[in-house]
Amino acid sequence: MTLEIIIQAIISGLLMGFVYALIAAGLSLIFGLMEIVNFAHGEFMMLGMYAAFWLWSLFGLDPLVSLPICAALLFCLGVATHYGIIRHILNASMLVQICATFGLAIFLRASAQFLWTPDFRTISHPIVEGRVEIMGIFIGLPQLVASLGCLLAFAGLYVFINRTDTGLALQATAQDREAASLMGIPTDRMYALGWGIGSACVGVAGGLLAMFYFIFPEVGFLFALLAYVAVAMGGFGSITGALFAGLLIGLMESLGGLLIDPSFKYVFIFAMYLVVVFFRPQGLFGRY
Amino acid sequence: MPSSSPPPLSPPSRATVDDASLRAALDEPSRKPLSGRQKALGCLAAAVLLAYPFVFDGPFPQHVMIMIFLYALMAQSWNIMAGYCGQISLGHAVFFGIGAYSSGFLFATYHISPWLGMLVGIFLAMAMALVIGIPTFRLRGHYFAIATLVIGESVQIIFQRWEFVGAARGIWLPIVRENAWLNFQFNESKIPYYFIALGFLALATLAIWRLERSKAGYYFRAIREDPDAASSLGVNITLYKTVAFMMSAGFMAMAGTFFSQYILIVDPENVFALSLSILVLLMAVMGGVGTLLGPIIGAAVLVPLSEYTRIYLGGTGGAVDLIIYGALIMLICIYKPDGLIGIAKQWLGRRPPPEETAHGDA
């Protein structure tokens, strides 16, 4: 095993890590706002990928071009989810909230299967394809563009939350809903906005993944599973935590698969989560 | 069962005070005997269930009932842990799989009676609950839920690669014609399976009914409502969470053994499926979490719904059955967040009978 292979694995791991981080960031944003885990997050991502696929297949739009459309569609889906479902179960128990989003996940996955069949689809010949070689290390261009896109989206999210008035209003709502509403912040609209932005994150990730990944109704499962682990490991509600945990998971996936045994790579990721929460029950960056 | 002994942290003289204050804090109903009406309803239900397989003698109606009993048993077992003790597990399939593998492996390899295998499975599942519980009981809420989720997924991956127990192929149980009861295999008729499943479910329900009224049951609910307050009242929360988890795991393993003897194939794809853990959770919550009859009602509604929609609407690969299923779950969550048991109570009478309610609004 040469050094080059290890560096190759580290780079591929980091590239996937940025995608995981963006998916996890959307999940974490929603959780931080209202303490609800969206168990349909993977299905949202699947819909983002299908949106990219159909825009390519019907209108010939490249995934990179249609990315804003995917994000906007998923933003609308998130807002609709808030007004249609989440708003009614805000004060219900955690179990009912879990069940409602699971129900949504089953509904969306089955609908995708009904409408578009369980076939695997791919987008052939996107604008970006092929790979580059830098000092003996191969980097797939779609993967590179996807992870750069996710990193940019992540940076945009971070700036939006910490530097804009609306972002600060979101944070205020997350900290104390009643105090925020006394300050004149429309909390219900903030919740809807949070769901919109959280879903748009996964729409961007899905649109970028569509360049090089298979598209099928169950595609979201693994990504969502890793995102849940990332969110919990980083600390529920922490966007920074989601970034670090996403990168750690990406690294663990490729290095664990390379150095130990590829068939157990997810076991290593899961074990890493258990070790982290054993020592820090609130996750790496969690507040509580 | 440590239900009769006081928790180690509180001195014996305070135990009765704790009990009373816990019960007051939880607004529990007192231990009323069953009313005449409830006894009559219970007898009627028992008579219907006993007569059912002889009235509906086709294999499909019997299969649906067996599946209802099996899922109700699993939902009951999940309910002990999550409904009463408040610890939400998303990985209960682990214990189901351990039960299925233990009896299946011992029967296929050494021809050991599945009844003995079931005891081994229950023991191993309880041991597994202990092993999982020790490091994870410090975790709260979603952190615990995600921990059980990843443990469930890890166990599935390990069993898919573990050659000793057949890896991804799983275990194919040999078909044996003689000693049907000893070998827990009935090739001629589904009726023995029907009564065994009914018996298992009755056993679990009876155990939970006793638990509800025992001291441990009050401690469980106190932990669910507020772990810090329960701890300050002298409840050893780690001990009682462990007890709840082990009980829950044991019943889940029983269901696993039943499944392996009924289907005669144990494979990691099915018995450790995340979808199984989720389905069990959905049934308990849809029926009415933390109630004695809720999980049974949940299974009695969702199992036939999925079996019949699959027959009439599925099959074309269109997944219409799952679309309806998902939509119904969302509707129940929005309009009946306390579960279907609320509707059942409205039908049966004004006042909820004491054994049906854990929250005690009576």
Q: What pLDDT is attached to residue B42?
A: 83
- Domain with residue B129: its CATH number is 1.10.3470
Ranges of residues in chain B with a pLDDT under 50 are 1-17, 352-362
Q: Say if B151 falls within a structural domain.
A: yes
Nearest CA in chain B to A105: B326
How does pLDDT run across A5-19, given as a tens digit for each residue?
888 889 889 999 999
Q: Return residues 151-210 of B near A (CB < 8 Å).
A: 151, 153-154, 157-158, 160-161
Contacts of B322 in chain A (CB under 8 A): 106-107, 109-110, 113
Q: What pLDDT is attached to residue B245?
A: 92
Q: Say if B316 falls within a structural domain.
A: yes
Kindly give, in sequence order, each residue whose CB lies less than 8 Å from that of residue B134, ignoring residues fewer than 6 positions away.
B242
Cβ atoms of A243 and A161 closer than 8 Å? no
- Report the run of H or E that residue A132 belongs to, with start and end: strand A131-134
How does pLDDT run across B179-227, given as a tens digit for each residue?
777 777 877 788 888 999 999 999 999 999 888 888 888 888 888 888 8
Chain B closest-CA separation from residue A134 CA (Å) = 36
Q: Say if B65 falls within a structural domain.
A: yes
Q: What pLDDT is attached to residue B233?
A: 83
CB nearest B138 (choices: A117, A266, A281): A281
CB atoms near residue B148 (< 10 Å): 23
DSSP for residue B33: P
Cβ atoms of B139 and A245 closer than 8 Å? no
- Asked if B146 lies within 8 A of A229 by C-beta distance, the reply is yes
Task: Kindly state whether B225 is in contact with chain A, defined as any CB-CB distance less than 8 angstroms.
Answer: no
Q: What pLDDT is attached to residue A119?
A: 85
Chain B closest-CA separation from residue A133 CA (Å) = 35
Contacts of B87 in chain A (CB under 8 A): none
Q: How many domains does chain B have?
A: 1
Ranges of residues in chain A with a pLDDT under 50 are none
Chain A closest-CA separation from residue B352 CA (Å) = 21
Q: What pLDDT is attached to residue B166?
A: 80
Q: How far apart are CA A211 and CA A125, in angstroms?
A: 9
Phi and psi torsions of A138, nearest 5° = -95, 135
10 Å CB burial of residue B341 (0-12, 13-18, 19+) is: buried
Q: What pLDDT is attached to residue B2?
A: 41
* Chain length of chain A: 288
Q: What pLDDT is attached to residue B6?
A: 43
Domain ranges for chain A, please list them. 3-218
- Asked if B329 lies within 8 A of A99 by C-beta distance, the reply is yes
Q: How far apart are CA B116 and CA B306, in angstroms?
A: 33
Task: Kindly state whether B309 is in contact with chain A, defined as any CB-CB distance less than 8 angstroms.
Answer: no
Identify the domain containing residue B288 by its residue range: 34-48+59-356
Q: What pLDDT is attached to residue B14?
A: 42
Q: What pLDDT is attached to residue B28?
A: 54
